Copies of this chain bind each other. A is one copy, B any other.
Amino acid sequence: MERLQEKIINEGRVLSPSVIKVDSFLNHQIDPILMKEIGEEFARLFADDGITKVLTLESSGIAPAQMTALSLGVPVIFARKRKSLTLRDHLYTSKVHSFTKQEINEISVSKDYLSSEDRVLILDDFLANGQAAKGLIDLVEQAGASVAGLAIVIEKGFQEGGQLLRRQGIRVESLATITSLVNDTITFKKEEAPFV
């Protein structure tokens, strides 16, 4: 998605060869028009998949998930993230290890909002090691629902999450795939030359 790549080039800050911050339009400040375009693109990609719910993780997934769900005409659910859950009643729960923050979070969804009838589009802002995606897939499977695919805003193609998930036969659609951040240079998949 060209406009997303431009935004990443113009506003992304490369903090290390594996970390890029996009706080100006996705993770802290949000560009609502870009979110609308992202939502429309995901809705187009998954238009024929019988999606009944969009599932995301608080907080950065919520804005693109809202726009995707609006375009698809289905509800969103955002899984909650906690250091540790005090109550597990009536919840599907899973553990997610964050490599960036070096912490383990429990994520959860109420049993009220996922059922075996659901065909779920999982949406997240980033895909890197795939830990969050694995946790969200686990929640969907606990509910006996099916995963239609993963809608990812930015994939770090140089980390193994995308490859692992695709090998499992899961459809992963990423709107921008970064193949390298080495030397403060953001390189995208399928680009002829890196943007500098």
Q: Which residue of chain B has the shortest Cβ distance to A28 in the bound complex?
A: B110
Q: Which residues from chain A sit less than 8 Å from chain B, CB to CB? A: 23-25, 28-33, 35-36, 58-59, 62-63, 65-67, 69-70, 73-78, 80, 109-110, 112-113
B24, B25, B59, B80: the one within 8 Å of A78 (CB): B59
Chain B: minimal CB distance from A111 (Å): 11
CA distance A28 to B57 in the complex (A): 10
B residues in contact with A69, CB < 8 Å: 30, 32
Q: 18 additional contacts, CB 8 Å, given A29-B112, A30-B75, A58-B59?
A: A23-B112, A23-B113, A25-B75, A28-B78, A28-B80, A28-B109, A28-B110, A29-B77, A32-B67, A32-B75, A33-B70, A36-B70, A58-B58, A59-B62, A62-B66, A63-B63, A66-B66, A66-B67
Chain B: minimal CB distance from A38 (Å): 11
B residues in contact with A28, CB < 8 Å: 77-78, 80, 109-110, 113
Chain B: minimal CB distance from A164 (Å): 27
CA distance A76 to B70 in the complex (A): 18
Chain B: minimal CB distance from A172 (Å): 23
B residues in contact with A35, CB < 8 Å: 66, 70
Chain B: minimal CB distance from A132 (Å): 15
In the complex, the answer to whether A110 meets B23 with C-beta atoms within 8 Å is yes
In the complex, the answer to whether B32 meets A70 with C-beta atoms within 8 Å is yes
